[in-house]
Amino acid sequence: MTSTFRCEEEFLQSCCSGSGSAVSLPSDSTHNSERDHLQTSYTNLTKERDQLQTSNNNLTKERDSLHTGVKKSSCRAAAVVLGLLCLLLLTGLITLVCLFSKGNSERDQLQTSYTNLTKERDQLQTSYTNLTKERDQLQTRVEYILNYFQKIIQELGWVYFYHSFYYTSSNRTSWQQSRADCLQRGGDLIVINSKEEQDFAIQFQRCTWIGLTDGEAEGIWKWVDGTALNTSYWLNGEPNDLEREDCAEIALFDKETSWNDQSCIVDNFWICEKMMAP
């Protein structure tokens, strides 16, 4: 500051000497007062500058501290999130491993069951094939035996029809003697249980005794095997029990209703029936 005032004095002196006129200069006390004022201002400005610098430094430190805190918080948050993601990933992997192991175990069990069922199926198929062959062989043998047996029984006068053998006589006799002959042959007088058997019986075109009688109780017709009469094929107006007619015969052959009650002592042909053992 002193050099500044000195320069101002020299400038004023040069101006005065150049112009030739006298200029009055301020006194030393005035200069000192101004200098002190300027010095005070400078000092105040310096203090304000230092305060501002201090404030700036403090703000810088706070900013750096905040940046550091934010960085640390961000790192911690990132670490926590990463840890949770790792935990979830590990849990998912463990779950997948468990499910895969369980799926493999179930698959192995199913594969074992499938293999066992396949073996059982193959065994059953083999058994079925063998049984089929045996059945076919037995069927062939049975057919051969039946054909052979049928030839023999036909030579003896018997005819096979629907699980029974039938014999028709070549001579005539009473109902009682006819039944006795059938019993001697191992059968009995025919018992007609169906329309098919009725049609079979009338095809012989003969008046024949059948195994039906009401000899025990008049009007109550029973078969020789003890069963009651359920389905009948009587002629119109029969049975009428004229002259103690207690035995049944086939009297006509051209119609389904062909039965007639007849005296048991009349001579007729007869039909024996021998049922095959079940």
Most confident of 68-72, 95-99, 184-188, 238-242: 184-188
CA–CA distances in Å: residue 249 to residues 109, 155, 167, 180, 238: 74, 26, 16, 16, 11
Task: Answer yes or no: is pLDDT of 17 > 50.
Answer: no
Of 9-13, 41-45, 261-265, the range with the lowest mean pLDDT is 9-13
Query: In this predicted structure, what is the pLDDT of residue 80?
Result: 83
Q: What are phi and psi of 203, to 5 degrees?
A: -70, -15
CA distance 78 to 178: 117
Between helix 2-19 and helix 28-155 the angle, nearest 10°, is: 130
Task: Answer yes or no: is pLDDT of 4 > 60.
Answer: no
Task: Answer yes or no: is pLDDT of 229 > 50.
Answer: yes
Beta-strand relationship, 208-213 and 269-275:
parallel
Alpha helices in 156-189 (DSSP H): 175-184
What distance lies between CA 71 and its chain's CA centroid?
61
212 — pLDDT class (breaks 50, 70, 90): very high
Query: In this predicted structure, what is the pLDDT of residue 269?
Result: 97
Average pLDDT, the chain: 84
Query: In this predicted structure, what is the pLDDT of residue 220?
Result: 94
Query: In this predicted structure, what is the pLDDT of residue 12?
Result: 46
CA distance 222 to 19: 186
Query: In this predicted structure, what is the pLDDT of residue 234?
Result: 95
Query: In this predicted structure, what is the pLDDT of residue 56?
Result: 78
Task: Answer yes or no: is pLDDT of 25 > 70.
Answer: no
**Helix (H/G/I), strand (E/B), else coil: 231:** coil
Query: In this predicted structure, what is the pLDDT of residue 15?
Result: 44
CA distance 142 to 50: 133
